[in-house]
Structure 1
Amino acid sequence: MWRVGILTVSDKGSRGEREDKSGEEIRRLVLRMDGEAVCREIVPDEREEIENALVRMADNKGMDLILTTGGTGLAPRDVTPEATRSVIHREVPGIAEGMRLYSLKKTKFAMLSRAVAGTRGNTLILNLPGSPKAVRECLEAVMEVLPHALETLQGRFGEHESQSNL
């Protein structure tokens, strides 16, 4: 079972003024990929707090996968992608590109997403939008490849299996 951390980035959520519906949607969806949300945090849209939470979840709590929700748009306080880039070791642009491509089939506004995906050690970090509907759509786009990505990242493959869909 994959250990999943959920980081909700929301000023109102961190003050208890808004229910964390997106974080709950992520928790529900990761069960489909044999994941368990073992760590959930809500932080305000503050770059340093986002960075600290990502490092804590990856390095101290040993999450296999961290899914963030919120802060990926164009608003002045949307800094989740910048915080993520500052803590990852390697970017995995295809994951974020795949989510945007999938979402563009549903809404033109998907092109405004600045979501980032990357690795920190053996942890995969993926930014998701802030609404439950967008979270669901973006995870649908990548859910099938996440287990393979995690297995590869953690060295669980000896030889690469033939991937007929590649």
Structure 2
Amino acid sequence: MRWKVAILTASDKGSRGEREDVSAQVIRELIEEEINGDVKMYKIVPDEQHHIEDALIEMADKHQVDLILTTGGTGFAPRDVTPEATLKVVEKQVPGFTEVMRSASVLKTRRAMLSRAVSGIRGTTLIINLPGSPKGVHENLQVIIDQLPHALAILKGVEGEHKS
């Protein structure tokens, strides 16, 4: 199955064109190579909660993508609000993905415990927050990518929870 994926970057500098969005490129490459994903949408917005919420809703509801991967805005900085925006729009939380990402990342850098990333479901769309750095995106996505096809298949009703 070919999965419809959207990438949302939360970055003040990126949204102003002051920084190249390398993290989104890393996401695109991994998704296309590892899970047969087709990136249907890409958007970069400033670190403003309402902009992030609006983009997530548009991607999930209007464009009906299967998976939204966000990058940026998951730390302690005052303008880091991606987790709050995500929690505002999801109907169910899916803590397992972010728990595993943090657990694996903390073995590489103790600063990983500062991640406030969350994951959840809106309708039939899975939303997962990733860090803002290209290295962090790669390391975190590598830890969960093998489970994404099964999770999406369950969410879409293509297969049951207990794959035989």
- TM tier relative to shorter chain: over 0.9
2:83 alignment partner in structure 1: 81
Output the CA distance in 2 between the equivalents of 1:40 and 1:70. Answer: 14
SS at match of 2:146: coil
Matched, 1:65 2:67: yes
Output the CA distance in 2 between the equivalents of 1:24 and 1:156. Answer: 29
CA offset digits 1:7-52 (Å, max 9, x no partner): 0000000001100100111001101111011100000000000000
- Structure 2, unmatched stretches of 5+, are none
- Residues 1-166 of structure 1: pairs in structure 2 closer than 5 A: 1-31=2-32, 32-158=34-160, 160-162=162-164
Distance apart, 1:157 and its partner CA: 1.2
How many equivalent residue pairs? 162
Seq. identity, %: 60
Call closer, same or farther: CA 1:101–1:158 in 2, change over 3 Å: closer
Output the CA distance in 1 between the equivalents of 2:161 and 2:126. Answer: 21
SS at match of 1:68: strand
Q: What is the RMSD of the two structures over their aligned residues, measured on CA atoms?
A: 0.9
Call closer, same or farther: CA 1:159–1:141 in 2, change over 3 Å: closer
CA offset digits 1:77-109 (Å, max 9, x no partner): 000000000000000001100000111111000
Deviation beyond 3 Å, 4+ runs, structure 1: none
Letter in 1 for 2:124: N
Output the CA distance in 1 between the equivalents of 2:143 and 2:43. Answer: 24
Distance apart, 1:126 and its partner CA: 0.2
Give the alignment's TM-score, normalised by structure 2.
0.97
SS at match of 1:3: strand
